Amino acid sequence: MIREINIQDLHELANPVLVDVRSEGEFAEATIPGAINLPLLDNAERAEVGTIYTQVSRARARELGLSLVSPKLPALVKAAQELGEHGPLVMFCWRGGMRSLVLTQVLDLMGIPVYRLLGGYKAYRKQVVNFFQGGFPFQVVVLRGNTGVGKTEMLGRLRQEGYPAIDLEGLANNRGSVFGDVGLGNPPSQKAFEGLLYEEFRHFNGWPYIIVECESKRIGRVTVPQNVFQAMQEGTQILMYDDITNRVRRLRDEYTALPQAFAEIRQALQRLVKTLGHDKVNQLNRLLDEDEDEFTRQLLVDYYDPLYAYPNEPHSGYAACLNYAYPESVARKLGEYLDKHFGSAER
């Protein structure tokens, strides 16, 4: 018997194995975070069936779809059966239509327990959109500071300690600067980014606050939803700072460890010609070959620090100021501050 569940029921299901049966193109554009793709029709087949549907008839499109899917069913059933060993299977397509129905019916006939998500990805997407159009339910603590002071590292430390820290740059797969995409590969689509961000907020449901790093409205190719961005602007601002030597080391270690980093850094440098001029960019290119530390130092002093203009020392304009030269003690200090001023999750 096929068990149908709605999107609210899905969130109550323990360790579901989400299976997106849409084409690989649809899946790549956006899906429910964590889903696995088992496409009934690939991109070309889906386009062919769609053309028949609009230009000939619905019946003929179904016949074509059946002829394309039938040879794949044994492999799809085997793959689904293996996935079902890790948790309850939940099948979905775009809006809970024929594609998810076909595979769930076959799996049911084979005696494989399976759920079918009513409304499909469209229902999930509606829930995400509604969340970001409503009032933001968290207070926001924002870590601010110049490039290289360790804000992202601090978020990781806090998260390991159980605090509700969210790495927006990690979700966007971009560091939010002219060199933001170096070594990181393709960013998510806007829909995919919003889905990942929504799941982070769901994960921390019950906490009165969340912690993020200060970001512009746009991070690489994606945009922070307006209700989140506004809450960041109105939130508690924490300043982080560190000396130039530590900042240089931190950035050098991060970037030079990445494959193809130097080639991508050179490409990104060309985008600074309007800001720094040809002579300075040429100098930076030479330093990249000759002295990585000096290259990084000059980039910080001549470009990043004037751009962001945060203090490199304690300042009265912030709720708290942290010298990240001592990471472990500073993380502990910030944790104590958060516990005192915001409390913890509702238990």
State the catalytic residue, choosing from 10, 19, 40, 93: 93
The whole-number pLDDT of residue 264 equals 81
Taking the C-alpha atoms of residue 201 and residue 83, their distance in angstroms, rounded to an integer, is 27
The whole-number pLDDT of residue 347 equals 41
Nearest to 271 by CA among 259, 281, 257: 281
- State phi, psi for 176 to the nearest 5 degrees: 75, 35
Nearest to 324 by CA among 171, 142, 141, 144: 144
Q: Is 186 exposed, middle or buried (0-12, 13-18, 19+ CB in 10 A)?
A: exposed
Nearest to 160 by CA among 278, 15, 335: 335
Q: Is 77 exposed, middle or buried (0-12, 13-18, 19+ CB in 10 A)?
A: middle
Average pLDDT over residues 182-202: 90
**Domain spans, the chain:** 3-129, 136-342
Q: Is-catalytic flag, 321?
A: no
- Record the tokens describing residue 289, joined without a space: 């070959």
Place of tokens 């074509």: 64
This model's pTM is above 0.85: yes
The whole-number pLDDT of residue 317 equals 94
Query: Does 3-129 match 136-342 in CATH topology?
Result: no
Taking the C-alpha atoms of residue 18 and residue 117, their distance in angstroms, rounded to an integer, is 9
- Record the tokens describing residue 57, joined without a space: 């008839």
Taking the C-alpha atoms of residue 295 and residue 288, their distance in angstroms, rounded to an integer, is 6
Q: Which residues contact 208 (CB under 8 A, 6 or more apart)?
A: 138, 139, 342, 343, 345, 346
Q: Which residues contact 239 (CB under 8 A, 6 or more apart)?
A: 144, 145, 310, 311, 314, 315, 317, 318, 320, 321, 322
Would you say 90 and 120 are in contact if contact means Cβ atoms under 8 Å apart?
no
The whole-number pLDDT of residue 182 equals 65
Nearest to 157 by CA among 332, 320, 319: 332
pLDDT digits (tens, 9 = 90+) for 130-169: 999 999 999 999 999 999 999 999 999 999 999 999 999 9
Taking the C-alpha atoms of residue 105 and residue 111, their distance in angstroms, rounded to an integer, is 10
Question: Would the pLDDT of 177 be above 80?
Answer: no
Nearest to 87 by CA among 114, 106, 108: 114
Rg for the chain (alpha carbons), in Å?
25
The whole-number pLDDT of residue 70 equals 92
Helical H runs in the chain? 7-12, 24-29, 43-55, 58-69, 73-83, 98-109, 120-133, 151-160, 168-172, 190-203, 226-234, 244-256, 261-269, 273-276, 278-290, 292-299, 305-308, 327-342
CATH code of the domain occupying 136-342: 3.40.50
The whole-number pLDDT of residue 208 equals 95
pLDDT classification of 186: cutoffs 50, 70, 90 = confident
Domain covering 3-129, topology: Oxidized Rhodanese; domain 1 (3.40.250)
Percent of the residues in the chain that have a pLDDT greater than 90, as a whole number: 77
DSSP secondary structure code for residue 239 in this structure: E
Taking the C-alpha atoms of residue 59 and residue 319, their distance in angstroms, rounded to an integer, is 65
Nearest to 91 by CA among 38, 28, 41: 38
Question: Would the pLDDT of 287 be above 60?
Answer: yes
Q: For residues 224 and 272, which has the higher predicted lDDT (pLDDT)? A: 224
For the chain, the average pLDDT equals 92
